[in-house]
Amino acid sequence: MSPSLAQLYAENRLLVFGHRGAKDDAPMNTLPAFELALQQGADGVELDVQLTKDGYPVIVHDFTIDHTTNGSGQVADKTLAELRELDAGSWFGEAFRGTRIPTLDEVFEAVGQHLIINVEIKSKSLKSTGCEQVVANRIAQFSLQSRVLVSSFDPLALRRFCRIMPEVPIGFLYAETSPRWLSILMLGFKYEARHPHYSMVDADFMTNAKTHGYHVHTWTVNDIEEARKMRDLGVEILITDRPGVIRQALYG
């Protein structure tokens, strides 16, 4: 088993995570993308999870399947069996024809012992779909509490997850365009990491974050010079579509 998240933090270097896997080189959020990120030397991967109509956690970024499969419609309106029939790879390239939408279980089985996994809970409602409980159940099932962190743009989803599994670190995702009221909902809630878009990160941002005891993980950094800038500022996790290229540029 590779090092835990805490052990990697202790190495005091910029960790490189593949954004939805090695997204530049394989269809996003698929097993080939996650396995390729591992081959390229990534420390971890980021992925997006939401529930099917029958309650299974699947790895899809959009709330619809139109963009990354040969199907159409809402993920939440499809059963796992229906999603399994879809081709989630040929849109990216003929070599990936027949690639399927993976479940969270399959990703944990494939790379959970080798990579840190940033599980982003997708949410578009103030009410829970039950995703937080399902994700917690899967983390416990695979004993990955020390090898995952859970993030979301939705403060309510993060609060719900933390009540269920407080031992797993939380990352709050946001960008300059995020509504101010989302940040207000995080007030009074103890969480471990800030996940800003890289354009928001400068020396003042880092000073403020460190003063308040937050780790800083940023996305989506694909430019080599920008990656080096994030390293020099003291960012701890960098999420990129190009984990192989960025890791080589940072560490040779």
Q: Provide CB contacts within 8 A for 106, sequence distance 6+.
A: 31
For residue 67, indicate whether it is catalytic: no
pTM exceeding 0.75: yes
Cα–Cα distance for residue pair 243/232, rounded to 1 Å: 18
Say if residues 101 and 28 touch (Cβ distance below 8 Å): no
Give me the mean pLDDT over the 137-141 stretch. 98
Mind listing the domains of the chain with CATH numbers? 5-251 (3.20.20.190)
Side-chain-side CA neighbours of 48 within 13 Å: the count stands at 17
Residue-level pLDDT at 97: 98
Does the structure show a pLDDT above 90 at 171?
yes
For residue 217, indicate whether it is catalytic: no
- Averaged pLDDT score across all residues of the chain: 97
Residue-level pLDDT at 126: 82
